Amino acid sequence: MRASAPPVALKAGGAGEAVVRLAIADGYHINANPPTYSYLKATEIEIAPEAGVTASKPAYPPALTKKFAFAEDQLAVYESEALISVPLRASNDASAGARTLRAKIRVQACDEEKCFPPQNLETTIPLTIN
């Protein structure tokens, strides 16, 4: 499983959106956000604070609902790819230039038979303030 994000450009005082792509290997899925049951670990993203930039509440993609041998009911999951959008805002006094936002994504991967312990993926989001 891999996480990546294309570059984002913002104007000082402006808003935009970062999109973090989770590539999920064939034969695996990750729990959606929100998960079907509270005991399942939801996919969650956290953007580390960066001077002059504020990240707002992420928007998670719609889930697939699928039946698996290890669960009585269908589960809300992501397969293949999941795109998480994170609204960004640059402060009015944000200095121009390049920055790197750090993103940590918590996922719990499962195959057709079992779930694995949650893990953290990390990626960077290149950001330029004009």
Q: Sketch the domain layout of the chain as residue ranges.
A: 2-129
CATH architecture of 2-129: Sandwich (2.60)
Q: What pLDDT score does 67 carry?
A: 87
Beta bridge partners of residue 23, listed in sequence order: 2, 81
The residue type at 1: M
In whole angstroms, how large is the CA radius of gyration of the chain?
16
Residue 56, Cα to own-chain centre: how many angstroms? 13
Residue 9's pLDDT band, with cuts at 50, 70 and 90, is very high
- What's the DSSP call for residue 38? T
Q: What pLDDT score does 84 carry?
A: 98
Q: Burial of 63 by CB count in 10 Å (0-12 exposed, 13-18 middle, 19+ buried)? A: buried
Q: Are 90 and 129 in contact (CB under 8 A)?
A: yes
Q: Are 77 and 29 in contact (CB under 8 A)?
A: yes
Residue 11 has pLDDT above 80, yes or no: yes
Q: What pLDDT score does 93 carry?
A: 95
- pLDDT tens digits, 49-96: 999 999 999 999 999 999 887 778 899 999 999 999 999 999 999 999
Q: What pLDDT score does 70 carry?
A: 75
Residue 121 has pLDDT above 90, yes or no: yes
Beta bridge partners of residue 29, listed in sequence order: 79, 110
Q: What pLDDT score does 72 carry?
A: 82
- What's the DSSP call for residue 37? S
